[in-house]
Each structure stands twice: as structure tokens, then as C-alpha cells.
A = this chain, B = another copy of it.
Amino acid sequence: MIKQSVQHTEASCKKARLAIQDTLDVVGGKWKLVLITVLRDGKRKFNELSRDAGISPRILSKELQELETNGLVHRTVCNTKPVTVEYSLTDYSETLSEVIVAMHKWGMAHRDKIISGH
């Protein structure tokens, strides 16, 4: 294996940090990735999400709006007796797969490491 000589300017480093901060802005915080994980299992109604994720309506509403703004979640109003609203993942949210899988794997492995006592 040959060690690549990577272009490594101060600017490129700054960009890397920005990219990571961008990702954290969109998907960081306590709930965003949790909601996405739940929705990967299938669409949910507002109250279902609230129950399934254990998140209060106020925060849920805010988080869903932000996810919608970033094109990750789609909101559908249904013509039901009392109006229901279904939230589902967009196709674009698929682009987050790698991130989610990587974080899932790492979280499991790290927990094992901690439990086994380093």
C-alpha cells in the first residue's frame, strides 16, 4: 500500500472542519438522527413519532420542521376523520445512510468496549 501525498493546505483543513460542522448542524443534536432512524422503519403519524421516540410535541414539531427544510423528511396531510399527518423520509435522506450506519456501528462497538472495561 502506497501512502498518498494528499494536498494538505490550511484551507483544505478548514473546509474539512466546516463540512463536519455542517453535517452536525443538520443532523446533530439530541433528536434528528433518532427521528430519522425511527422513520427508516416506515412512515409515522405525529403522535406515533412522539410516543415512539419519546419526544414532546413541542420539540418534535420543531425538529420535523427543520428536517423538512433540509429536504430529509416529507410531510403529508391525510384526508381522515380527524386529520392525520404522516411523516416519511425523502429519497434524499438516503444519502445519509453511510453516516447513520457508521454511527450505529461505532456506538455499538464503543458500548461493548466500555462495558468490557476498556
Contacts and interface: CB of A to CB of B under 8 A. Distances in A.
A67 B102 CA distance: 19
A99 interface: yes
Contacts of A104: 16, 19-20, 23
Contacts of A26: 110
Interface stretch (A29-37, A58-66, A75-83): A29-37
Contacts of A16: 37, 104
A97 to B, nearest CB: 9
A95 B37 CA distance: 22
Given A98-B105, A102-B98, A102-B99, A37 B24 contact: no
List the 3 shortest-distance A-B pairs measured between CB atoms, nearest first.
A19-B107, A23-B107, A22-B107
